[in-house]
Amino acid sequence: MTHQQCADLIDRLTGAWNAHDPDGVAACYAPDAVSRDITLTEALHGRTAIRNAAETYMRAFPDLRVRATRVVCEGDLICEEWRSDGTHLGDLIGLAATGYPANMAGCNVIRLDANGEIASETTYTDAAGLYRQLHALPQLANAAG
């Protein structure tokens, strides 16, 4: 893919996140895509799982805003650095709403299929930093003990 095609895909993906459109997010992925987040134990398999995860984050942070800060494209690989901001007003994978604002930086390493859809991705984020901003680290430590 050309750099412009990669940038267009990331713009579409980011736009769907900012429009709070989980179907639009899922449409950027191949039907059998695999999405891994290093902070979670299980990968997401397929558009439906990816759509549902996006919807979970959108409910947890109803004012969520995402922006790509750097996109590097080489062949069928994209490396996208991003930042997100939002207020934690809904359940986040078992963590009740805290009302705290949070921002996070992350990086996605994406492999595209022949159709230019996301076939696989690995997401790297600072989850501890997010939970620290939500004042949730002591709760998580107690739950683990």
d(CA 90, CA 111): 31
pLDDT at 140: 53
Domain with 96 in it: what CATH number?
A: 3.10.450.50
Mean pLDDT on 66-85: 96
State percent of the chain over pLDDT 70: 94
Nearest CA among 93, 20, 22 for reference residue 63: 20
Res. 141: pLDDT tops 60: no
What are the pLDDT digits (tens) for 3-36? Answer: 888 989 999 999 999 999 999 999 999 999 999 9
List the alpha helices (DSSP H) in 1-145. Answer: 3-18, 22-26, 47-60, 127-133, 137-144
> Which residue range(s) make up the domain with 46?
3-144
Q: What is the pLDDT of residue 94?
A: 87
Query: What domain count does the chain have?
Result: 1
